[in-house]
Chain A
Amino acid sequence: MDGLDFNGVGSSPHRLEIMEKVTGAAEYIADLSRPNMLHAAITQSTVAHAKILGYDLEDALSVPGVVCILTGEDFPDGRMGAFIKDEHAIAKDKIRYFGEPVAVVAAETEAIAREAAKRVIVKYEELPAILSPEEGLAEGAAIIHEELDDYIKVFPAISSGNMASYTELNEGDLEAGFAQADLIVEGTYDTAPQAHLAIEPCGALADIDKQGRVTLWSANQSVFRVQANVCESLKMPMGKLRCLTPRVGGGFGNKMEPHIQPLVVQMCQATKRPVKMILNREEDFECVRARHPFKVRCKTGVKKDGTIVAREVEVLLDCGAFGDDSPGVLGYSLLMCLGPYRIPNSKAHGKLVYTNKLRFGAFRGFGNPQVAFAGETQLDQIAEKLGMDPLDLRQKNLIQPGDPWFGGGKVASNGLQECVDKARAASDWDNRKSRTAPKGKRRGTGVALAAHISGLLGTGAIIRVFEDGSVALNTGAVDIGQGSDTVLSQMCAEALKIPLEKVSLASPDTDGSPYNWGTTASRVTYTTGRAVVGAAAEVEKQLKEHAAQMLECSEMDLELRPGGIVGVSGSDKEVSFHQISLRAHWAAGGPIVGHHTWVFNQPTVDPKRAVCSGIPFPQVGVFSFGCLIVDTLTDEASGKTEVVEAWSAVDVGRAINPSSVEGQIVGGFVQGMGFALTEEMVWDGAKLANPTLLDYKVPTALDTPYDIHSIIVEAAEPDGPFGAKGAGEIGLVPVPAAIANAIADAIGGHVHSLPMKPEKVLNKMLEIEDAT
Chain B
Amino acid sequence: MSHPVTLTVNGKENEVSCGATTTLLTVLRDTLALTGSKRGCNQGVCGACTVLVDGTPVRACLTLAVNTEGQSITTIEGLPEGGELKPIQQAIIDSDAVQCGFCTSGMILTAHEFLQRNNNPSIDDIRTALSGNICRCSGYRKIVDAVALAASRGGA
| A interface residues, Cβ below 8 angstroms from B | 12, 14-15, 17-28, 30-31, 197-201, 247-252, 278, 280-281, 480-483, 659-660, 662-663, 666-671, 692-694, 698, 700-704, 706, 708
Contacts and interface: CB of A to CB of B under 8 A. Distances in A.
B36 interface: yes
A700 B134 contact: yes
B99 A483 contact: yes
Given A28-B102, A706-B123, A663 B46 contact: no
Contact of B37 (A19, A24, A199, A703): A24
In the complex, the 5 A-B pairs of residues with the closest C-beta atoms, listed nearest first: A24-B36, A481-B100, A249-B102, A24-B76, A21-B101
B123 A23 contact: no
A399 B28 CA distance: 56
Interface in B13-65: 29, 34-43, 45-46, 48
A708 B136 contact: no
Nearest to B92: A22
Given A198-B102, A199-B134, A662-B142, 11 more contacts: A24-B35, A198-B100, A199-B40, A250-B100, A660-B96, A663-B138, A670-B140, A692-B45, A700-B133, A706-B123, A706-B144
19 contacts: A15-B96, A18-B93, A25-B36, A27-B35, A30-B38, A30-B39, A197-B136, A250-B102, A250-B137, A281-B40, A662-B141, A663-B139, A666-B139, A693-B45, A698-B136, A701-B144, A702-B127, A706-B123, A708-B141
B43 A693 contact: yes
Contacts of B149: none
A481 B99 CA distance: 5
Contacts, number: 167
B103 A199 contact: yes
Contacts of A668: 139
Most buried by A among B38, B126, B138, B139: B139
Contact of A693 (B104, B130, B134, B140): B134
A23 to B, nearest CB: 7
What bracket does the count of chain B residues touching chain A fall in?
A: 35 or more
If over half of A's interface residues share one DSSP class (helix, strand or loop), that class is named, otherwise mixed; here it is loop
Contacts of A199: 38, 40, 46, 48, 100, 102-103, 134-136
Nearest to B102: A249
Contacts of A25: 36, 77
A698 B39 contact: no
A249 B101 contact: yes
Contact of A692 (B41, B92, B101): B41
Contacts of B85: 22-23
B109 to A, nearest CB: 10
A281 B138 CA distance: 21
Nearest to A481: B100
Interface string B102-137: 111100100000000000000100111011111111
Interface of B: 29, 34-43, 45-46, 48, 75-77, 79-80, 85, 89, 92-94, 96, 98-105, 108, 123, 126-128, 130-144
A23 B36 contact: yes
Nearest to B40: A199
Contact of A24 (B77, B139, B144): B77
A121 B85 CA distance: 52
Contacts of B127: 701-702, 704, 706
B137 A281 contact: no
Nearest to A671: B136
A14 B93 contact: yes
A748 B126 CA distance: 34
A215 B37 CA distance: 26
A22 B93 contact: yes
A11 to B, nearest CB: 12
If over half of B's interface residues share one DSSP class (helix, strand or loop), that class is named, otherwise mixed; here it is loop
B96 A24 contact: no
B100 A249 contact: yes
Contacts of A22: 85, 89, 92-93, 98, 104, 108
A667 B105 contact: no
Nearest to A17: B101
Contacts of A27: 35
A667 B75 contact: no
Most buried by B among A21, A30, A659, A703: A21
B139 A200 contact: no
Given A663-B137, A663-B138, A200 B98 contact: no
B36 A200 contact: no
Contacts of B45: 692-694
Contacts of B134: 199, 693, 698, 700
A242 to B, nearest CB: 24
A693 B94 CA distance: 30
A198 B96 CA distance: 19
A164 B1 CA distance: 53
Contacts of B76: 23-24
A31 B140 contact: no
Contacts of B40: 199-201, 281
Contacts of A480: 100
A667 B137 contact: yes
Nearest to A486: B96
B99 A24 contact: no
Nearest to B142: A663
Given A24-B36, A200-B102, A249-B38, A702 B142 contact: no
Contacts of A702: 127-128, 130-131
A465 B108 CA distance: 38
Contacts of A671: 136, 139
Contact of A481 (B75, B128, B137): B137
A370 B139 CA distance: 21
A611 to B, nearest CB: 41
B36 A694 contact: no
Nearest to B132: A700
A281 B102 contact: no
Contact of B46 (A660, A669, A693, A706): A693
Contacts of A669: 139
Contacts of B99: 250, 481-483, 663, 667
Contacts of B93: 14, 18-19, 22
A63 B141 CA distance: 49
Contact of B89 (A23, A201, A694): A23
Contacts of B75: 24
A701 B34 CA distance: 27
A19 B98 CA distance: 10
Contacts of A701: 126-128, 130-131, 133, 135, 140, 143-144
Nearest to B19: A111
A198 B101 contact: no
A198 B36 contact: no
A692 B43 contact: yes
A600 B48 CA distance: 39
Given A249-B38, A701-B130, A708-B141, A18 B100 contact: no
Nearest to B105: A24
A450 to B, nearest CB: 17
B140 A704 contact: yes
A743 B16 CA distance: 55
B141 A706 contact: yes
A483 B98 CA distance: 9
A663 B96 contact: yes
Nearest to A480: B100
Contact of B139 (A247, A481, A660, A670): A670
Nearest to B128: A702
A693 B41 contact: yes
Contact of B77 (A23, A247, A252, A483): A23
Contacts of B138: 663, 666-667, 670
Contacts of B39: 30, 201, 278
A707 to B, nearest CB: 9
B141 A200 contact: no
B42 A26 contact: no
B154 to A, nearest CB: 19
B99 to A, nearest CB: 4
